Structure 1
Amino acid sequence: MAFHEIRFPDSISRGAKGGPERRTRIVELASGDEERNASWANSRRRYDVSYGVRRADDLAAVVAFFEARNGRLHAFRFKDWSDYKSCLPSAAPSSTDQIVGTGNGSATAFQLVKTYTSGAQSWARAIIKPVAGTVTVSLNGVAQGSGWSVNSTTGIVAFTVPPTTGAVIRAGFEFDVPVRFDTDELPVTLDIERTGSIPSIPLIEVRR
């Protein structure tokens, strides 16, 4: 399966429904107690973009996008409007938003990550599809205008000179979610005015 570096139409994704999914196995014992085990180490996101189809032109755009991806065959970028920045939704990304690594004097490549924290618990999400032109980087809190580059197809930040041992590397960015269609058919319904609708257009996150 190839990955197409193209984003699903923003005007339609804005109205999508969905979010993270986790897989947990729960066994209820005879005593009524439970044993719980996480089947997945990381979450996976699901969406239904049918809620964003409001006009006949939207419908045509979805059908064209679906056909160009050969249904479920090829993955693509998707903007999750509820979670697409390294910072809070009300803020603008800053070069000090997220810790992506610590220098050891030899490593030059660091994966962009976004950490979700609640209380004493946290989970780090690898960001592999940053939006080109939105990434900023800092070392020990000082923004770096040069000396590094980012691969917008993998989310790897590469320094020309290895950060010194103990240097804290932070980054700010916007990002997309790598997804694919989770159906091989689009049941289009045309009404009298021929505006049309599609009951469900499921997308699922692609994990490498």
Structure 2
Amino acid sequence: MDFHDIRFPTSLSFGAVGGPERRTEIVTLTNGHEERNTPWQHSRRRYDAGTGLQTLDDIEELISFFEARGGQMAGFRWKDWSDHKSCMPSKVPDFEDQVIGTGDGETTSFQLIKTYVSGAHSYVRPIKKPVLGKVSLGLAGERQVEGTHYSVDTTVGLVTFSDAPMAGTLVSAGFEFDVPVRFDTDRIQSSMSRFRAGEVPDVPVIEVRV
């Protein structure tokens, strides 16, 4: 899959609408009860980039970005302002935010993840596009030093320790991250007169698996 490691302009994504989507297959039985199943292990996010446009200059910037990606051809990074940290949006990411694994004395690489908890249930989301310079790691509650103790692959969300964490050692992380997406259209329709009147183009963006 063609993916450009560039972020959609944050000034345009700030006003965008969107969020996670699930796919649930529901069968209603003759007795009125339901059977519910899903073919998706992970949710998929959709956004409308058009709602973030405020000026005609914004449209020009959007079109330039769209053309450089070849429409739907190339994926890119998207900042979801409502969910882009390992912690609550009002907090600053800390290396103890998320437990991403437990050492076994042999494994050196760990996938960044974010766990969503509600009541007795939880969902673990793989984080594939962390932001460069915004990842911090800890071992057993002690902060580690990037470049000395570990490295980060921001293209796939893997962190690799120089030495394998000892067996039973909790591996934790704090980070900011982007969502890998692509345009969900090969056409941008805009009108200067309509835009001045308050209408904005529909610019669908959809998450891609990487």
TM range (shorter): over 0.9
- Equivalent-residue separation in structure 1 for 2:142 and 2:63 (angstroms): 46
Letter in 2 for 1:88: M
SS across alignment from 1:80: coil
State the identity %: 54
- Equivalent-residue separation in structure 2 for 1:154 and 1:63 (angstroms): 28
Alignment of 1:171-186 (within 5 A): 171-186=173-188
The Cα offsets for residues 123-164 of structure 1, whole Å up to 9 and x where unpaired, read as: 111101100011000001111123101111111000111000
**In structure 2, do the counterparts of structure 1 residues 170 and 50 end up closer, same or farther at CA, with 3 Å as the change threshold?**
same
Give the structure 2 partner of residue 69 of structure 1. 69
Give the structure 2 partner of residue 7 of structure 1. 7
Q: How far off its partner does 1:192 sit?
A: 7.5
- Equivalent-residue separation in structure 1 for 2:127 and 2:56 (angstroms): 34
Give the structure 2 partner of residue 150 of structure 1. 152
- Equivalent-residue separation in structure 2 for 1:140 and 1:110 (angstroms): 15
Are positions 1:51 and 2:51 aligned together?
Answer: yes
The Cα offsets for residues 18-61 of structure 1, whole Å up to 9 and x where unpaired, read as: 00000000011222211111121110000001110110110000
The Cα offsets for residues 59-81 of structure 1, whole Å up to 9 and x where unpaired, read as: 00000000000000000000000
Structure 2 gaps, min length 5: none
Letter in 1 for 2:173: A
Are positions 1:80 and 2:80 aligned together?
Answer: yes
RMSD of aligned C-alpha atoms?
A: 1.5
- Equivalent-residue separation in structure 1 for 2:167 and 2:195 (angstroms): 66
Structure 1 gaps, min length 5: none
- Equivalent-residue separation in structure 1 for 2:9 and 2:198 (angstroms): 18
Q: How far off its partner does 1:199 sit?
A: 2.6
The Cα offsets for residues 97-134 of structure 1, whole Å up to 9 and x where unpaired, read as: 00111110011000000000001111111101100011
- Equivalent-residue separation in structure 2 for 1:193 and 1:157 (angstroms): 44
TM-score (norm 2): 0.95
Given that 1:189 and 1:196 are in contact with CA atoms closer than 8 Å, whether structure 2 keeps it comes out as: no
**In structure 2, do the counterparts of structure 1 residues 173 and 29 end up closer, same or farther at CA, with 3 Å as the change threshold?**
same
- Equivalent-residue separation in structure 1 for 2:159 and 2:184 (angstroms): 31
**In structure 2, do the counterparts of structure 1 residues 193 and 127 end up closer, same or farther at CA, with 3 Å as the change threshold?**
closer
- Equivalent-residue separation in structure 2 for 1:128 and 1:184 (angstroms): 25
TM-score (norm 1): 0.96
Q: Which runs of 4+ in 1 moved over 2 A?
A: 192-199
Give the structure 1 partner of residue 38 of structure 2. 38
Are positions 1:163 and 2:165 aligned together?
Answer: yes
**In structure 2, do the counterparts of structure 1 residues 193 and 83 end up closer, same or farther at CA, with 3 Å as the change threshold?**
closer
**In structure 2, do the counterparts of structure 1 residues 74 and 119 end up closer, same or farther at CA, with 3 Å as the change threshold?**
same
Give the structure 1 partner of residue 89 of structure 2. 89
